Every structure is written in structure tokens, then in C-alpha cells.
Structure 1
């Protein structure tokens, strides 16, 4: 007598209808000057030329675009 194939109900449902969106995705707002996606609710800075910069990218921007060098005093 063959064994019956048992499958978890969530897997069966996913195979029938596709995977559900388990987490609501924030809306896309744009992309900053560092080519990082900005999502609704992110904190950003508008630069003088109109470009956008995510707040968390400030240090990278200062290094890559302004040539700043961060050092530690001995």
C-alpha cells in the first residue's frame, strides 16, 4: 500500500495562489545621490543642487563626493 503524500497547508496554498505579501512594503519615494533607494518614512536631505541624500549616507557622501578624510588624533 503506497504512503500518502502529506503537504503542509501553507505550502499547498502557496502553490495554488503564489506567495502572499507577508510584510507590507513601504512605498518607493526615489533614489539618493549615492544610488540608494529612498522609501516613504526615510529621513533625507535635499542638497543645494536639488539632489537627495539619505541621512544615513552623510558620511559616505562626505568621503566620496567632498573628499573629506576622517582621522583620529593620536
Structure 2
């Protein structure tokens, strides 16, 4: 009796998945996260920061303090 895992059988029949469909890598931002084509970025003093990392960057690298107005 020959048992074979379905994923292995499918790979043997069709080949490996298409790796071309992955987004193109553009680099790493100042916070160490991967930048992909289409990501929103901000440039501050030569540093590139992903938009979702902007608040952390301002706090950790520029000493910004976020407050609520009273």
C-alpha cells in the first residue's frame, strides 16, 4: 500500500506554487519593518518610515509626546 500526503501529490503533479505573485520588496523602514510596493511611506530627514509606524518613530526617535488638549 502506497500512502502519499495530498499536498505532496499535488506538488508532484502541478509543480511548486508561483512565487512571482508576491509583492515586490522595496527595503526596510527606520523601525525595521519591510516596505513593499504600494505601501504609504513618509521621509523625515533622510529616514523612510511606513505610515503605520509614524507615531512610534516620532516618540522613539524624535522624543514626541502625544497629549490631549485640556
Q: Name the TM-score, length of structure 2 as normaliser.
A: 0.70
Q: Aligned pair count?
A: 70
CA RMSD of aligned residues (A): 3.0
Instruction: Provide the residue aligned with 1:66 in structure 2.
Output: 62
For the pair shown, the structure with the greater C-alpha radius of gyration is: 1
Please, what TM-score do these two structures have when normalized by structure 1?
A: 0.67
Alpha-carbon distance between aligned partners in 2 of 1:21 and 1:68, rounded to the nearest angstrom = 44
1:40 aligns with 2:37: yes
Any gaps of 5 or more consecutive residues in structure 1?
A: none
Query: Moved runs in structure 1, 4+ residues, more than 3 A?
Result: 13-19, 71-74
- Partner of 1:6, secondary structure, is coil
Gaps of 5+ in 2: none
**What SS class does the counterpart of residue 21 from structure 2 fall into?**
coil
Structure with more helix by fraction: 2
